Amino acid sequence: MPQISRRLGSFTDSMIRRMTRIAQSCDAINLAQGFPDFGPPSELINALEKVAREGPHQYEITWGSRKFRKALASKQSKFMGMPIDPETQIVVTCGSTEAMMVAMMTVCNPGDKVIIFSPFYENYGADTILCGAQPIYVPLHPPEFKFDEEELRSAFRQGAKALVLCNPSNPSGKVFTLEELKFIAGLSEEYDTFVITDEVYEHIVFEPYRHVYFASLPGMAERTLCCSSLSKTYSITGWRLGYVISSPYIIDNARKVHDFLTVGAAAPLQKAALAGLTLPDQYYNQLRELYTEKRDIFLKGLEEAGLKYMTPQGAYYVMVDISEFTKGSDLEFCEWLAKEVGIAAVPGSSFFKEDVNHMIRLNFAKKNETLAAAIERLKTLRVKVGRA
C-alpha cells in the first residue's frame, strides 16, 4: 500500500463534531457543536418553499448568483462602512468553512507561516496544514483572552504570510477592541502580512461591545480577506452559504480556488437566502437582543449550578472552568458529562495549542426550554461529581 498524505498525521477529526456524535449516542442535550435548535425567520422558510417549485435547481455562476452577490454587497457595505463591488469583490462559498480554506489557499504557498491566536476554532490549524503551510500560535491569555504585544510581534517577526483573526472569537467569546485591532493592523502593514478574518458572529455582539470589521480599518481593505457566512445570522447552518470579500485582485484568484474546490454553493439556497439578506436593519437588533437574553438566562443558570465561567462579549459560547471537578483529561470529563449528566460539551483542550485542560465550551444558541432543561441537568453535576 502506498502511504497516504503526511499532512493528515498532524491533526485528528474535529472534536466539536465528534462530541455531536457522542451526544447523539447517549441522548445528551447537544451544547457542543455551535448551531441553533430553532429554525430561521419565516421569510426564509417561505422563500425556500417557493424556490422548491420555481427553481433554480441547476448550477449558478460558480462564484455566486448575481442577485445574491448584489444583496450581500448592499448589506455588508452598510455594516462594514465601505463600498463593495458585487461583480469583482465577492466569492460565494459553501459556508465560511470553505471561505477560510479558499482564503488560505489563495494567499499561502507550501512552507508559508500563518499566525493563529490560541484558543482557536479547530478548522484553522487543519486548513493551514492542508495548505502545506505552518501555523504559529499566539496565546490569548485567559481569563480576559488578551494577547501580549511582544508575543504577537515575535510571531510576525518569524515572517508570517497571513494572520487568522476570528472576531467575535470562537470559543472565547472575546470581541477584539479597536486598539487591539489597530495594533494588529500596524504589524500586518509593517511585516506585509495578509489578514484572513472569520466574522461569522458579526451580528452576535453583546452591549457595550461593538464589532469592528478589520477590513474597515484605514489601509486594511487591500490586505484583508473577510470571510463570513449566513449560518449564524439567519440560523441556517445547514444551508452552507458563506463568502469571501476582498479586493478585486484577491477575489479574482480566490474564485479560481473555489471553482476547482466546489464549483459553487447551492443555487436554490442562494435564491431563498435573498429573503434574509434583504431583511430590515431591525432584524439584526432583534437578533442581538435574542442572543443577549439567551446568554443571560444561561449564565444565570450556570451560577445557580455553581459553575464558574468567563462572560462572553460576543458569539454564542461560554467557557466553563472545570478545574474543581477534575485534574485529568477534559475529553474524559466531557464523555462522562454526556453520559452521566446528559450534556454534551467540547473539551477546551481541542481549542488550545497550550496545555490547557480545565475548561469546556458550552453553546447557548438554543430554545429557552432547551436551556432550562440543560440547566436542570447541570445542577446535578456537583452532586454526581461528589462536590455538593
Binding site for ligand GLN (CB under 6 A): 16-17, 33-34, 97, 121, 170
DSSP strand pairing (346-347 vs 359-363): antiparallel
Which residue shows C-alpha cell 463593495?
84
Phi, psi of 324 (to 5 degrees): -80, -10
Of 165 and 217, which CB lies nearer to ligand GLN in the complex structure? 165
Least spacing, CB of residue 81 vs ligand GLN, in Å: 26
For ligand GLN, the closer CB: 124 or 176: 124
Q: How many helices (H) and strands (E) does the chain have?
A: 13, 14
Tell me: cis bond preceding 280? Omega within 30 of 0 counts.
no
Least distance from C-beta 356 to ligand GLN, angstroms? 17
The residue (of 119 and 139) whose beta carbon lies closer to ligand GLN is 119
Nearer to ligand GLN, 156 or 239 (CB): 239
Between CA 368 and CA 379 the distance in angstroms is: 16
Q: How far is the CB of 121 from ligand GLN (least distance, A)?
A: 6
Beta carbon nearer to ligand GLN, 86 or 119 = 119
Least distance in angstroms from the C-beta of 312 to ligand GLN? 13
Burial of residue 2 (CB within 10 Å: 0-12, 13-18, 19+) is: exposed
Residue nearest to ligand GLN (CB): 34
246 contacts 254 by C-beta, under 8 angstroms: yes
Residue 216 CB, nearest approach to ligand GLN (Å): 23
Least distance (Å) from ligand GLN to the CB of residue 365? 9
Q: Which three cell numbers stand for residue 244?
A: 469571501
Of 93 and 170, nearer to ligand GLN (C-beta) is 170
- Helix boundaries (H) for 87-206: 95-107, 123-130, 149-157, 178-190
Q: Residue 118: name the closest of 100, 135, 99, 93 by CA.
A: 135
